[in-house]
Structure 1
Amino acid sequence: MNQMTRLEPAPSPMPDDDACWAAFLARDRAMDGRFVGCVATTGIYCKPSCAARHPKRENMTFLPDPVAARAAGYRACLRCHPDEIGRDRLAVAAAIAFIEATEEPLRLEALADHVGYAPHHFHRLFRRETGLTPAAYARGLRAERLKDALGQAGSVTAAIYEAGYNAPSRAYADAEKHLGMSLSAWKDGGRGVTIRWRTIDSSLGPVLVAATGKGLCRISFGEGEADLRVRFPHADFRPADTALDAMAQRVAALVENPAAGADLPVDVQGTAFQQAIWAALRAIPPGETRSYGDIAAAIGRPQAVRAAGTACGGNNLAVLIPCHRVLRSDGSAGGYAWGLDRKQALLAREKRK
């Protein structure tokens, strides 16, 4: 619990009144902690995701935080507990720091005790804020350490223990899940892994669609086989089969109508942090946008705005994981790996639906 006193959330600018009202109407959990809504007729203040019935717009005033609301004479809502959002996010941030600093697997009870919460309550809180359970976050982190160790250690066995695994069996299971291939295949540039690929035309240019036997591993604009070979120089590349052709057609349809969404199997590599960011991206409703700060806050890491931007840039599945829905805090487009013109076109298509 001593780490809790050293962690402070990074301040985020308060949205304008129209954006605040829209967040309340949507009960947008990602905006919790950015401001509170004060209701003149009841004298209470709430967080944006409050499940209570919405008051009339003319009865609401928006203030930056609970301190300002109490100073104005309002009291906290007993349904949504707006004062707790800061404490909850500090607890998740402290837990993440504890996990990252500890090589040995942590029991839920020890982690919850470290941040001062009951285990079952903290388990729900951590998953709500990050999209992952504490155990899943820790496994993803170990898998990322394993990936780094495989590139440096002299053998697979040495890499396993260097990454903090107590036994090879868990390492091999994590490798299949998080790296998309066996340990030896990852260490040797994808040797032994079959990747099928093809390009397909779209109104935004050629789209590369590639998949392992588990699912899509790359969707990108303007790339081809040479780009895949740079990523996996020793993989076995083969032309598309019937299954990949079908997936490619659905990807092409998604480019034309990104608001439609698509339930397609995926096989992407990423750290626990990246996985949480990508899950938050897929949770953004079509036609809506979020800032990089919103995405960082949504996974319980409000300080990690720049890292959230980097994770968006590391997205391997264009359109399917909709990183085009993320803008800068000032509303400008920001970056996009496949060109701002495509980003703006995708956003415009979603708004028309």
Structure 2
Amino acid sequence: MLRDDDTLFAALIARDPSYEGFAYVGVKTTGIFCRLTCPARKPKRTNVVFFSCKDAAQDAGFRACLRCKPLDTKRPASGALEILRDKIKAEPDRRWSAEDLKALGYDASTVRRAFQREYGVTFAQYARSQRLGLAVSTLQQGGSVMDAQLDAGYESSSGFRDAITKLVGDVPVRMNARQVLAAQWIDTPIGAMLGVTDDEGVHLLEFAERKALPTEIARLRQRVGPIRFGQSKMLEALAHQVGQYFSGRAASFDIPVVQKGTPFEATVWSALQQVPPGETRSYGELARFIGRPEAARAVARANGANQVAVIVPCHRIIGADGSLTGYGGKLWRKQWLLEHERRAAATTNR
């Protein structure tokens, strides 16, 4: 249901991302329609009209904005982000400099802010994580520490060891004896997510902006093993299913989840996966479902400890009064996910 125009205009001024995909604005003076998050100069209140979907905006004669690209299924990212991600993927062993960025026509400080905003790390840190992931692969395949060091672009062995220790939680000489988890960023319409898997399944899937993400990574390293950035068949399957979900083509997941927790947490996480898309439950209802009616607060803590967002749908748990309660990925994303699932469920049930 489309909100009233005053609410939507306030969201337009604030560039509120919670309406991403569910509300669009048409500017009468230009004949163009945009996302509410469009960075273009804001029009006057009297010159706008709101639509619940892009088809309605087009049917009314409005053209899609070339800046915010409302017809695209993915949230528009900086052109630099897409181009530089592709270049890093094509040359994962390259050491990028400010001069390289300038040669491509980009300002280094602008690129830094764009990567920081999207992934929570700078461009240099993002590129380095890919180089280190390549270096870890060299070590796993029997290469020497020196080969891996040179592949990653480190002249100092101590510098390489320090960096790789921070990334995978172990020093190279001991790494062959431990399981190494594979990590990669997955883009979604509401922000980048970090996926971590092994051959058994998904250990972590979280939005980049989640404040607890560093703590979760540290816990995962301690419970399971070191982590590297790289590619794997399980990561490819995860990215595909996440893409299907966000595009509305699939409401559920069949990829295995293998996150570690206490027996009680595991029970709660299993119960969460039984809440149908398009529906919600309260903490008390979930506690009664697992046969522990007195444990609503413990259920809430287990819900908060979930490290596999969306697939283990902790966003479907709300307050007893129907309010949206805390969500590590930010409340606006919780609202977006619930609305996305309600619409998908309504379409399926027609």
TM-score, normalization: structure 1? 0.46
When normalised by structure 2's length, the TM-score is 0.46
- Greater relative contact order: 1 or 2 (C-alpha under 8 angstroms, separation 6 or more)? 1
